[in-house]
Amino acid sequence: MENILRTAALDRIDVAILDALQQDGRISNAALAERVGLSQSACSRRLDNLEKSGVIKGYHAELSNAALGHRMTAIVHISLTGQFEKTLSEFEAAVKRCPNVLSCHLMSGEYDYILRIAARDLADYERIHKEWLTGMPHVIKINSAFALREVIDRTATGIRPEMA
C-alpha cells in the first residue's frame, strides 16, 4: 500500500528523474542532477527515495533477442485444468524454469495465462513446445501465435506528476 501511495505522489522532478533514467539508465548522478535542476545531493536523495519506495525496481541492460539468435517471438495462450491455488502455483513454478519464457501473465477471460517466448526459429519453437510447454503441469490447451514485427516494447507507462 505504501508503494501505491508513493507512486501517486510523484511530482514533476520525480517524473523528470524517471524519464531521464528510462532514456539512459547509466547516466551519472551529476548529469542527472543537472538535467532535472537539482543539486547532486538532492538528486541522490530523490533517487534513493524512488528506489526504496519501489517505483524503481532495478537497473538492467536491455538485450536484443535477435542479436542473441532468438529472432522469433511467440505469444502463447495457455489454459489449465482449473484455477485452484495449487494448480496455479505448480504451473507458475514450471514456467519460471523455462529459459525461453520472457514474460508470463495470469489472465482473466478465455485463457489462464499469456506467455511471450523467444525462439531462434520455428523448429526451435517446436522444441520449446515439446520439451517445455506440453510438459507443464495442468496444461490442457496451448494456442500459439507468432509476432511478425515488434512495434513497441515499454517497461513502464508514461509518467505524469499528480495533478493538484
pLDDT of residue 70: 97
72-146: CATH class: alpha beta
Report the b/e string of 83-118 with b at 16+ CB within 10 A. eeeeebeebeebbeebebbeebeeeeeebbbbbbbb
Q: What is the CATH number of domain 2-52?
A: 1.10.10.10
pLDDT of residue 6: 44
Helices (H) and strands (E) in the chain, counts: 6, 4
State the amino acid at position 123 in one-letter form.
Answer: A
pLDDT of residue 133: 98
pTM of the model: 0.80
- Domain boundaries defined on the chain: 2-52, 72-146
Reading the chain (164 residues) residue by residue, the pLDDT tens digits are: 344 444 458 899 999 999 999 989 999 999 999 999 999 999 999 999 999 999 999 998 889 999 999 999 999 999 999 999 999 999 999 999 999 999 999 999 999 999 999 999 999 999 999 999 999 999 999 999 999 999 998 877 776 665 33
pLDDT of residue 153: 86
pLDDT of residue 9: 80
